[in-house]
Amino acid sequence: MTAELSITQLKLRRSGREILDIDRFVLDSGEILAVIGPNGAGKSTLLQVLALLLVPDTGIIELNGEMIVNGNRLAARRKLAVVFQESLLLDTTVQKNIEIPLRIRGVGRTEAIRRTREWMARLGITHLSGRRARSLSGGESQRTSIARALAMQPEILLMDEPFSALDYPTRKSLLAELGDILHTTRMTTIFVTHDFSEIPALTRQVAVMFDGRIIKRGNIQDILGETAVSVRSWAPWDEDMEDGRGAG
């Protein structure tokens, strides 16, 4: 299978500290991958690099086999969509929050409206179309944010702990709906999470980060055991850190 997104020999430093050190990472077309690890492991930073929002000090990033450089960075970024922990909505209606980014990306008005209505319906927020963002609940805001991202028809969806601020019933229902959508569309997806219980709703594939490196990658049961939510320590992977830089 051709890799849709890959990084090679990537390093990123901040204030003299190495934040990322990854020899090789590949996200295949249609793959859904969860990224886990302790606080400060570099998960969100990796996502921002993959989303082309941060430029690493060294390393190669490729999208569909094409190296990303300054000349094509903006065009490549338009093939991606990002959902953050905070919904980051505009101070306008739900419908406009989905429609405006499409228009900015050059989508015609009729098509933008069609996509907006389609994804509002699929995320169950059609009844909120005229509501302003500041009046929405946390769950409603995040549904709008996800609808906005999916309406862009991205080649790759990147999500940074998008469910962490939601209450349990909202998180459970949104995970189930999003899982159905991702598997139906076969959209290439990478998402960061600190809650192991979220992973099975979306995927079985997991990458573990520690100290800026990917130290393990594989099936969730192989990495975390039969009851992933019972894991309480990252110590079992310490022995793999020396040669775990290139997991992928």
Cβ(144)–Cβ(128) below 8 Å: yes
Rounded (to 5) percent helix, strand, coil in the chain: 40, 25, 35
Structure tokens at 159: 């999500």
Q: What is the pLDDT of residues 83-129, one digit of tens each?
A: 998 889 999 999 999 999 999 999 999 999 999 999 999 999 999 99
Confidence of residue 238 (pLDDT cuts 50, 70, 90): very low
Residue 172: is its pLDDT beyond 50?
A: yes
Structure tokens at 117: 């209505």
Helix (H) or strand (E) holding 160: strand 156-160
For residues 99 and 112, what is the distance between their CA atoms, to the nearest angstrom? Answer: 6
Backbone angles phi, psi at 178, to 5 degrees: -65, -35
CATH of 1-79+157-248, one of 3.40.50.300, 3.90.650.10, 1.25.40.10, 1.10.579.10: 3.40.50.300
Q: Which residue bears the tokens 């020899």? A: 23
Return the axis-axis angle of helices 138-151 and 94-104, rounded to nearest 10°: 30
pTM (2 decimals)?
A: 0.87
Starting at the edge strand found earlier in the chain, the sheet holding 80-83 runs 80-83, 156-160, 188-192, 32-36, 205-210, 213-219
Confidence of residue 3 (pLDDT cuts 50, 70, 90): low
Kindly write down the DSSP assignment for every residue of 121-137, as one continuous string.
HHTT-GGGTTSBGGG--
Domains of the chain: which residue ranges?
1-79+157-248, 89-153
For residues 236 and 219, what is the distance between their CA atoms, to the nearest angstrom? Answer: 16
Q: Coil, strand, or helix at residue 172?
A: helix
The mean predicted confidence, pLDDT, of the chain is: 88
Structure tokens at 13: 């430093």
Structure tokens at 142: 């995040």
